[in-house]
Amino acid sequence: MPYDPPAWFGRTAPLVLEIGSGTGESTAALAAAEPWRDHIAVEVFEPGLARLLMRIAETGLTNLVLLRGDAVALLRERVPEASLDGMRIFFPDPWPKRRHHKRRLVQPAFVSLAASRLRPGCTLHLATDWADYADQMLAVLEAEPLLENTVDGFAQRPVWRPVTKFEARAQAEGRAVRDLIHRRRHAGHSSDHTS
């Protein structure tokens, strides 16, 4: 199937990509709350996609399309540069064991790829409840020349981001949730970093 959001949605609208939609609880809620935007959810977990398909059927959402597969390959091979109006990665697998940290999604090469797919002025929004992963994410995002932080450090949790069961459990277990919201720089906008 060719990558063709206008054909999928029957319109051209601002486009947001969510990587790792899980069971789609927040994905469906955000799509319902933002009918003026089209949403693509990418997930490898089939039962999660099935749950999200059921949510779409129950609510009649027409601005949400699901893709099963590897988000990195999708971004690299199919999503054009500067074509997304937002990207969301909420609670990616933290791979908590140190020897597995290299498997974490948010690494410099991935962030560079993701940033290149955003339109200037559009945001990459991440959230995690793992403190060391949050610190790693912040360091990687801050080092990416195409991105600038929308705040100093971590962002306040946006009121519009739904609290999922997963997030509520993390909070109940005492793990703070950290949001990171970085914006793609406009062309010609110099980096704050000096070389």
The residues spanned by each domain of the chain are: 5-184
Q: Quote the tokens at residue 21.
A: 């939609």
* Residue whose token pair is 């935007």: 37
Q: Say which of 70, 93, 132, 135 is annotated catalytic.
A: 93
Query: How far is 166 from 59, CA to CA, in rounded Å?
Result: 22
The percent of residues above 90 in pLDDT, for the chain, comes to: 85
Q: Which residues of 18-41 are buried (b: 16+ CB within 10 A; e: fewer)?
A: bbbbbbbbbbbbbbbebeebbbbb
- Domain 5-184 top-level CATH class: alpha beta
93 catalytic residue (yes or no): yes
Condensed to tens digits (0 to 9), the pLDDT of residues 33-85 reads: 999 999 999 999 999 999 999 999 999 999 999 999 999 999 999 999 999 99
pLDDT tens per residue, range 85-127: 999 999 999 888 888 888 999 999 999 999 999 999 999 999 9
Q: Say what the pTM is.
A: 0.92
pLDDT at residue 95, rounded to an integer: 82
Distance, CA of 166 to CA of 118 (rounded, Å): 27
